[in-house]
Amino acid sequence: MPTGSQEGWIASAAPVHTPEPLANPGRFTVDRLLPTRKPRVDRDLGRLHVAEFLGYCALSEVADPYRLDVDREDNTVATDRAREPGLEVARHHQSMKPTRIESLLAAALLVAVALTATTARAADPLPSWNDGPAKQSIITFVEKVTTAGSPDFVPVAERIATFDNDGTLWCEQPLPVQLYFMLDRVKALAPQHPEWKTQEPFASLLKGDPKAALAGGDRALLELVMATHAGMTTVEFEQIVKDWIATARHPKTGRLFTEMVYQPMLELLAYLRANGFKTSIVSGGGIEFMRPWAERVYGIPPEQVVGSSIKTRFEMRDGKPVLVRLPELNFIDDKGGKPVGINEHIGRRPVMAFGNSVGDQQMLEYTQGGGGPRFMLLVLHDDAAREYAYGPALGLPDVKLGAFTPALYDEAKKDGWTVVSMKTDWSRVFASEQTPVTAIDVLLEPDATMLRRAEANNARLLKAFPKGFALDATHRPHITLVQRFVRTADLDKIYAAVGKVFASAHVSGMKLEAFKYYYAPSKDVGVAGIVARPTSELLELQRDVIAAVASFTVETATMAAFTSAHDDPALDALMIDYVSTFVPKMTGEHFSPHVSTGVAPREYLDKMLAEPFEPFTFSPAGAAVYQLGPFGTAAKRLKEFDLKP
């Protein structure tokens, strides 16, 4: 499951009761409601699924700038056009009050309403980038080429962005990751090749000296590639890579190589895709080395990965058609090869190109050579404390692989390319950087029975309203048990404690009854779902999970505990308060499990709710701990548990 695939609640369902007064009474104002992307919006039964409120507004085509106010004293909503019932957030029931925010929704509404603002106001699209010329150059360029009517507008089909991989998207020092793969492959194959003990470059690799092995230059590297990457089918090689990348770790940090990905670049990839760009990797690394994991790590599918390759041959083996990898070089996708690879694999000249070394120079030059607006960016590694410092531009240490030369730096400045200082422009380098406190969400995932019913209902809703969201990897249903602030250093202890609870509770054997549909309205549409009855077993599980986590919790934290912050301190404060008070306000008697299924017009949903609902029984099939993101989303999976049958 890709990171960020789960959605999170920032307010939980509760029986109707008088809400506690909100702190800091006053008026909170959002200047504009403007759909900026297609996130899912989901609320139900007094529980606001904040990450989906923007979808409400987008789907309702709320795009005209106007002011919407939330009165913190009387928990009501108003606009400059007078009070509009269509924009109210209220629990759907037979006697809905048009202007009151029921139950615990007042604080949640503030966050949800703010979520409908423009990207700049709702959430910083590049939160790990420090404010400055580099960050602003990206945002300014994207805004001008995606604004309809702008003289620089670029049609969606032409929005191509290419990224180098090593040193641009993930760490390439002290050696590129694929070289460590080759080292481990040589060790694994050595028993079949006793001659390697004395034959270079294999002998040096077996002695643990990869730099000496590479002293032979391109010839030595090519020999290593052919010995370790050929002789098997493409399917077999893909599995070899998957198995290796799942456990291989960086020699200095001890982190998985897939955790050595640059968080600012992940945010940039997401930002560009949200604005209609097709993002591709164009790397000197092996194309079939990157394809098995690029989608999971970067969100870039295999067909958008361009890289170096060896030749393959079609064969029939045991009556099955296969491609066999041959020990012959096919294409080197580096330096001048990158524009060639782009032309052959992508077929369009990029509008934006990103790199970090002389190996990327020609790709950026090729991008700049096209007509119309173009954007080129180079990452300068100048942060020895958080990663590595190397150049030799600006007097930084020289390296053999991944060099950023003074000549390249001069060309970048002369031609107006953006040069990113890792030390100055990035507030955070790796997604896996630890903070003292982590905001977590312990959740359950429903079984195939619920998923089938949810997917069937989702298909029905999509047919009625194609603009709605589909249940897929980015909208996978879940049930939150608890959200807490915990000490990051104790995460492994938390996984162990929660794991014991799940193991002893026989979670997958629980039987939950789904008994009706619901929907939460917004103007002319609503978000629908299936409601389940909380059982004594489920409530006991929730209590046990809360108890298991209790000794590791802290009372409150900053937004550093989340995957990223909002750009509005008021939203940060609301989110922090919500997690801090989750247990007393959102669990136990206030807990109401449900699964959201889609969006449709309210008239259609009224008819659906009037239909007989055939109750069914389902069980939890999975459990996990996620780190919370902005607006209460379960943004990053930290731990997944195997539930006993």
277 to each of 52, 142, 601, 641, how far by Cα in Å?
Answer: 22, 9, 30, 35
Strands of 160-163's sheet in order across: 320-331, 305-317, 278-286, 160-163, 352-355, 375-380, 418-421
- 201-215, 312-326, 483-497 — which is least confidently predicted? 201-215
Q: How far apart are CA 185 and CA 224, in angstroms?
A: 9
Residue 640 has pLDDT above 60, yes or no: yes
In this predicted structure, what is the pLDDT of residue 431? 76
Q: What is the pLDDT of residue 628?
A: 86
**What percentage of the chain has pLDDT greater than the value 90?**
62
| Domains within the chain, CATH numbers bracketed | 27-122 (no CATH), 156-425 (3.40.50.1000), 437-641 (3.90.1140.10)
Element spanning 571, H or E: helix 569-580
pLDDT digits (tens, 9 = 90+) for 45-98: 223 333 333 333 333 333 322 223 333 333 333 333 333 333 333 333 333 333
- When pLDDT is averaged across residues 368-395 and rounded to a whole number, the result is 96
Instruction: Specify the pLDDT at position 465.
Output: 92
Confidence of residue 215 (pLDDT cuts 50, 70, 90): confident
How high is the pLDDT of residue 567? 63
DSSP for 364-392, written as a single string = HHHHHTSSS--EEEEEE-B-TTTS-B--B
- The secondary element (H helix, E strand) that includes residue 79 is strand 76-79
pLDDT over 80 at 493, yes or no: yes
Average pLDDT over all residues of the chain:
81
| 127: helix, strand or coil | coil
Q: Among 140-144, 420-424, 585-589, whose mean pLDDT is lowest?
A: 585-589
- Rounded to whole angstroms, how far apart are CA atoms 388 and 293? 24
Confidence check: pLDDT of 108 > 60? no
294-308, 492-506, 583-597: the lowest-pLDDT one: 583-597
- pLDDT value, residue 48: 32
Average pLDDT over residues 28-47: 30
Query: Does the pLDDT value for residue 161 go beyond 90?
Result: yes
- Beta-carbon count within 10 A of 604 CB: 18
More confident residue, 340 or 371: 340
Residue 432 pLDDT: 67
pLDDT tens column, 318-332 = 999 999 999 999 999
Q: What pLDDT does residue 461 have?
A: 94
Give the per-residue pLDDT at 560.
83
| Residue 486, pLDDT above cutoff 50 | yes
The model's confidence at residue 123, banded by pLDDT at 50, 70 and 90, is low
Which pLDDT belongs to residue 563?
A: 78
Q: What confidence tier does 287 reach under pLDDT thresholds 50, 70, 90?
A: very high
User: Of 216 and 104, which is predicted with more confidence?
Assistant: 216
Q: Does residue 201 have a cis peptide bond before it, meaning omega lies within 30 degrees of 0?
A: yes
> Is it the case that residue 41 has pLDDT exceeding 90?
no
Euclidean distance between CA atoms 180 and 186, whole angstroms: 10
Amino acid symbol at 394: L
Q: Say what the pLDDT of residue 473 is.
A: 53
pTM for this model (two decimals): 0.58
* HSE of 517, CA atoms in CB hemisphere, 13 A: 25
What pLDDT was estimated at residue 631?
Answer: 62
What span, in angstroms and rounded, lies between the C-alpha atoms of 41 and 74? Answer: 25
Judged by average pLDDT, the poorest of 88-97, 358-367, 439-448, 629-638 is 88-97
Count the neighbouring beta carbons within 10 Å of the beta carbon of residue 133: 12
pLDDT band at 38 (very low <50, low <70, confident <90, very high): very low
Distance separating alpha carbons of residues 208 and 564, to the nearest angstrom: 39
pLDDT tier, 475 (very low <50, low <70, confident <90, very high otherwise) = low
Instruction: Locate 596 and state its tokens.
Output: 């959201």
pLDDT: is 423 or 220 the higher one?
Answer: 423
- Give CA separation, 162 vs 63, 159, 276, 343, in Å: 31, 10, 14, 12
